[in-house]
A and B are shown apart, each in its own frame.
Chain A
Amino acid sequence: MVAIVDAWLTPFGKRKESLFDLAKESSLPLIRKFRDAIDFVIISNSYSGEFNGISGVNNLISTYLSLEDIPSIRVDNTSGSGGSAVLVAKSFLDSGMARAVLVIGVEKMSTMKTRDVTSVISSLLPPRERSVGISVPSLASLMTREYLDRYRARREAIAEVAVKNHRNGARNPFAHIRKEVTLSDVLSSPVVADPLTQYEFCPISDGSASLLLVRDEEALSFTGKPVYIKGMAMGSDSSHITDREDLLEMRSVKRAGELAMKFSGVERVDFAELHDMATILEIVEAEALGLLRKGEGWKYYLEGRTEVNGDMPINTSGGLNSKGHPIGASGVAQLVEAFHQIRGEAGERQVKDARTGLSLSMAGFGNSATVTVVGDEP
């Protein structure tokens, strides 16, 4: 088994610092404490070539951090890079290939205008589907229409996801958007892809997050409060949206969740960090993971049950929706939040008696998904 023994992140947002300095900012506290123990570095990053004109980013970052004597690799799985990077780190530790792995997730996206960023990210779609002009956000709108129709859900319930996540983000000093919004603000903000509006999508953010992972039997020599990875699994689905028989099924998420929960031995987690690139995704993912009842997830938002003090707190960090979504950093940052929640260090966002949690790092539109279940005991 593997444990997270330290974690840090940068404030997300439009940052003036370079990709390298963002990576430094999140990893420096870990390197200062554990430089001599680290024997592998994994960089979670997806678009350094497109956004920053940089290739070989793992070696460049490692050298910038004076870690050039330590082997490094880059893991790119688009928006799911962070979860994939942690899965690789866990595999290295489980196999004995490494004893202490530093995972740094980093992305600098604000170098481009919104439509250019959309174009870069939409390049994960296959050519014929892409030729129609679709983007990843617009697929979320398609999903919303199907969800509203099939379950007779109320439109405002979808928007309540953004209200809740902005409320949490306002209490997170590392969040990109630190202001609360009302239901009226969300519904009246500019439409991006009908019916979803600006506040219902994640912003374009720069940022970085870092984790140090070790084998569980060594964890207590690094910290008195390790957070254990109790179960972890990956699921996959077609990257062709037209091949999906049911847009609301999210097979990759369901499969990864079922396996991760089975491996963990945990029946029910105390909180979850999900991939809310768009509001509707949080609901559909929560249903696929069995956190909320299928077809009724929207009702939980009208009843406040996914709030920090609800019976199923979701995205206490503010989620991608408010905290921001620097692609390569997001999945790593979700586990930073889980690390702080389990250790009781989440401040105003602390979930009472949080002992187990789940994070979902998702690539594309559910093309692949990595679910990690963490807890305070091995």
Chain B
Amino acid sequence: MIVYVCNSCGKGYFEPRGICKCGSDSFREEERETKRLHCVKLLVPPAGFPEQVEFCLSSAGDTRVLELGGSRE
């Protein structure tokens, strides 16, 4: 899972930002392993997605991320 990490303070973000909370606008991409916290099956997803979507809130180090659910195989 790619996380955007501030080059100044090291804070990680799942969703890219233009400016970090520390004021820096310089980020790098970092590949991190994830650990699932909670998963949800959505049976009425927004138009344009499959009829059933499963997603998970996961942690990637100290950063929370969203990822598709189901088997990791």
A: residues with CB less than 8 A from B are 113-116, 118-119, 122, 126-130, 132-135, 137-138, 141-142, 145-146, 149, 190-194, 240-245, 247
Contact = CB atoms under 8 A, between A and B. Distances in A.
B44 A118 contact: yes
Contacts of A122: 46
A135 B49 CA distance: 11
30 contacts: A115-B44, A115-B47, A116-B47, A118-B44, A118-B47, A122-B46, A128-B14, A128-B15, A129-B15, A132-B53, A132-B55, A132-B66, A132-B67, A132-B68, A133-B42, A133-B45, A133-B49, A133-B50, A133-B53, A133-B55, A135-B45, A137-B42, A138-B45, A141-B40, A145-B38, A145-B39, A193-B43, A242-B64, A243-B64, A247-B57
Given A132-B53, A142-B57, A145-B40, 7 more contacts: A115-B47, A118-B47, A133-B49, A134-B42, A134-B66, A146-B38, A242-B63
Contacts of A119: 46-48
Interface residues of B, number: 27
A244 B38 CA distance: 14
A137 B41 CA distance: 11
B65 interface: yes
B64 A128 contact: no
B13 interface: yes
Given A141-B40, A241-B66, A133 B15 contact: no
B58 to A, nearest CB: 9
A204 to B, nearest CB: 11
B38 A142 contact: yes
B14 A129 contact: yes
Interface of B: 13-16, 37-50, 53, 55, 57, 63-68
B41 A115 contact: no
A193 to B, nearest CB: 5
User: Would you call the interface of chain A mostly helix, strand, loop, or mixed?
Assistant: helix
A126 B15 contact: yes
Contacts of A192: 42-44
A327 to B, nearest CB: 16
B45 to A, nearest CB: 5
Given A132-B55, A133-B55, A142-B57, A244 B42 contact: no
B65 A138 contact: no
Contact of A118 (B16, B38, B41, B46): B46
A118 B66 CA distance: 19
A25 B37 CA distance: 48
